[in-house]
Amino acid sequence: MMIMAATIDPQAGVFASEQTGISAVQVGQVLTLMLVEECTVPFITRYRKERTGGLNEEQIRQIKDSYDEFLEREKRREYILKTIKEMDKLTPELEKQIMRAQTINQLEDIYAPYKSKKKTKGQMAEDAGLLPLAEELLAGAKSIEEMIARAGDFLNPEHKVTNAQEAMEGAGHILIERFSHDIELKEKIRKDYWREATLTSSKRKEADEIKDSIKFKDYFEFSQAIKDLKDPKIGHRVLALRRGMTLKILKVDVSYPEEAGIAAIEAKYFSPTAKTYENLKNLARKAFVGAIHSSLDLEIKTDLKKLADEAAIEIFKVNLKNLLLQPYLGTKAVLGIDPGIRTGCKIVVVDETGKFHFDTVIYPHEPQREIEASRKVLERLIDHFKIEHIAIGNGTFGRETLEFVQTYVDQVKADKCHATLVNEAGASIYSASEIAAKEFPDKDATVRGSISIARRFQDPLAELVKIDPKSIGVGQYQHDVNQTKLKQGLEGVVEDCVNFVGVDVNTASAPLLSHISGIGPTLAENIVKFREEKGIIVNRQKLLKIPRFSQKIFEQAAGFLRIYKGENPLDETSIHPEKYPVIEKWCSDKKIPLAKLVGEKDMIATLEKDNALKNEIGEFTFVDVVKAFKAPGQDPRTQFKSTEFRKGISKLTDLNPGEWYPGIVTNITAFGAFVDIGIKVNGLVHVSEMADRFVDNALEVLKVGQEVLARVIEVDPSRDRISLSLKKGESVARGPRTEASTGPRPQRGGRPQQEVKIPAAASLKNNAFAGLKNLKLK
């Protein structure tokens, strides 16, 4: 998506630099490129390194986010100034307060007394002339009896102050609101809350009537310091509490000593020696409990939720990136199977380009159990379409279907064809989508799902971009976090991954093309239509003939669109067309044919030594150009390799605590990693069980798709839970955790103990995620 041109706010640029720790010069260049020159993040990252100093996608997005945060704050500041001014209540001192506010919370504190159009009790009391009485009460020079007598002088029937008691109550309301709306006081108490308050939760009375309330058992009696819950590594607890609160299972409160809050008010406004001390203390209590605490309770819960959202979204983004860039099979025909029981296993065949050719159904499982007929169907398809790879969805009956294929299909046993379980998360979402209906209007959802399984084995990135990232199953509380922020974050990851790999402009689908820098859905459809009507695109300049493919879009997109075996060898590389003239001139001067430079080591060595060229195009660009010549058209992802789960296990009761099982990391959260060890339920490796050392962040040691060898330390069939460990220094299995031990586990590292013998990983064939460990990605 292109960004509309705009002017740059200098103060916002300074703020972005301070927030990100990136130099003001780099921030200025990034903002100029994004807001003035209308450049996309992938384009800036890849082709404007000289100007940004080589900043990566994440840093560039952080700059833009910080810039937007500043603008949002200033927009709110302007609104508050304008609103209070229109109310004719903007004094010079109040204006200074508004201009000095550094955060949204501080601005809201200032604005709070002016939000309501309806007059407050304190304002009505002031209108009734009770302010002097309130001041005398606060001074504390007279006893409460004397103050009641004095209140008789302030009766005002017109404003419904008909007796001394009503006058005293009105004076009290004035002081309560003064205490409540004191900006400096509230800021001090706010800081105290973040240092000393705790977040507590308890079970609500109606919880037992709510389905799955037992899942929140760990939070039925929970308490943790607010300052600790700011830690991103335990943000999942905040989200769990929030979900329990939303479901009316948990009652969640911010706890802070009431007397400490009252003491803060007392320290600023009145002395213990005041003759009206007890009365003033009672007013302070009402101000603290009724206004200050209730406001900070909501504010802190909201701020903790925001921090937890950010942490969860970051984890989701890393997991999604690793999933999208997982190893790929490449251009080979695949037979895809979506396992089923009663309705059978849906089978499809796609050729090496992903084109659908055939579908049918077999019934190898109960109740039909047509094993021989199913075997013959598979063998005929394998022979006819020269299939070397079978991709089987890893959902219900996936393991059983894999075992059937491996046991009964001769070609598989003879190693002519290899069967593999493929993560089918999101396939059903795709099958019911508009994209799937448009691709296969005459096929039902089950066939479309099978096609998706086969294709994602060939090229996970090309197929997964068709599915909402939230449906892929690698997030943490993805339905609880800020959906706008989540959508923005995940769309950025998809955009980064697609442009990192690049696409073949002559074969890429419209959904894949739509994520290329500067293109979008409409132009992507135009590209596909142009190919269908005009034939293959033979060079990058032909892109300009496509309707709506402007010069600006060409600048942003061309480098990411590859043309293989076309008219210009440079079109196969990631080198941008804007650098073609200087490279062509260099080849001409050196009398080296351009075609010889692509992939020819000796020729590239000559180029690599040319400092004059390096100085001309810039060091960052020069390095990328050399790299592109060394490996033209090479996919930066690793290619698929097979692994396998341990045989003979299909349910929790087949697992033995203390034994080791090969597995694949399917999801990573702040508290640990989920691992598929070959049965329906994934096991959990808590962060404290990841290594024989302290692990601060699960993402530092594991990634989605990584192969691991895990030891079972606990099986809990009643809760469908498997606890795993990756530690090599322990061999003692645990029994079920007691009720007293089921609370949130501490962040701790393991202490190496006696070395135990670990079996070598089996040479298995079940991992569509294998090989991610070879990727050099953050």
**pLDDT tens string 416-469:** 899 999 989 888 899 999 999 999 999 999 999 999 999 999 999 999 999 988
The reply to whether 147 and 172 lie within a common domain is yes
Last residue of a domain, one of 405, 423, 458: 458
Q: DSSP labels for 219-245?
A: GTEEEEEHHHHTSGGGHHHHHHHHHHH
Model confidence, pTM:
0.85
Q: For 594-622, b where at least 16 C-beta lie within 10 A, e where not — what string?
A: beebbbbeebbeebbeeeebbeebeebbb
Residue 321 lies in a domain: no
Distance CA 607, CA 630 (A): 11
The CATH number of residue 703's host domain is 2.40.50.140
Residue 327 lies in a domain: no
The reply to whether 161 and 308 lie within a common domain is yes
Q: In degrees rounded to 5, what are phi and psi of residue 564?
A: -95, 140
Residue 573 lies in a domain: no
Taking the chain (778 residues) in runs of 10, the rounded mean pLDDT of each run is 67 97 98 97 98 97 97 97 95 96 95 90 96 98 96 96 97 98 97 98 95 93 97 93 96 98 98 97 98 98 96 94 91 96 95 96 95 96 96 91 91 88 89 94 95 96 92 84 94 96 96 97 98 96 98 98 95 96 95 86 90 96 94 79 77 93 91 89 94 90 91 92 88 40 36 34 33 32
Q: In degrees rounded to 5, what are phi and psi of residue 40?
A: -85, 165
The reply to whether 126 and 272 lie within a common domain is yes
The reply to whether 613 and 700 lie within a common domain is no
The reply to whether 135 and 280 lie within a common domain is yes
The CATH number of residue 430's host domain is 3.30.420.140
Residue 533 lies in a domain: no
Which phi-psi region, left, alpha or beta, contains residue 386 (left: φ > 0; alpha: ψ -120 to 50)? left
Residue 544 lies in a domain: no
Chain center to CA of 580: 38
Residue 546's nearest CA partner among 561, 525, 560 is 525
Helix axes 294-324, 483-501, angle to 10 degrees: 20
The reply to whether 147 and 252 lie within a common domain is yes
Last residue of a domain, one of 409, 441, 458: 458
- Other C-beta atoms within 10 Å of 294: how many? 13
Residue 287 lies in a domain: yes
Could you give the angle at the alpha carbon of 111 between the alpha carbons of 110 and 112, nearest 5°?
95
Distance CA 509, CA 507 (A): 7
SS3 state of residue 651: coil
Distance CA 231, CA 554 (A): 44
- Other C-beta atoms within 10 Å of 636: how many? 13
The reply to whether 309 and 354 lie within a common domain is no
Residue-number span of the structural domain to which 715 is assigned: 652-774
Distance CA 129, CA 176 (A): 16
The reply to whether 366 and 408 lie within a common domain is yes
Burial of 128 (0-12, 13-18, 19+ CB in 10 A): buried
The secondary structure of the chain in percent helix, strand, coil, rounded to multiples of 5, reads 55, 10, 35
Residue 438 lies in a domain: yes
How many separate domains does the chain show? 5
Residue 591 lies in a domain: yes
The reply to whether 125 and 247 lie within a common domain is yes
The CATH number of residue 188's host domain is 1.10.3500.10
The reply to whether 277 and 422 lie within a common domain is no
- DSSP state for residue 618 in the 8-state scheme: -
The reply to whether 177 and 297 lie within a common domain is yes
Token pair belonging to 306: 């925001």
Question: What are the angstrom distances between the C-alpha of 604 and each of 247, 284, 595, 600, 627?
Answer: 63, 78, 11, 6, 9
Distance CA 591, CA 600 (A): 15
Last residue of a domain, one of 458, 493, 519: 458
Q: In degrees rounded to 5, what are phi and psi of residue 222?
A: -125, 140
Distance CA 119, CA 455 (A): 65
The reply to whether 100 and 126 lie within a common domain is no
Strands (E), 70-219: 198-203
Residue count of the chain, please give it. Answer: 778
**What is the tens place of the pLDDT at every residue in 212-270?**
899 999 999 999 999 999 999 899 999 999 999 999 999 999 999 999 999 999 999 99
- Other C-beta atoms within 10 Å of 721: how many? 16
Which phi-psi region, left, alpha or beta, contains residue 599 (left: φ > 0; alpha: ψ -120 to 50)? left
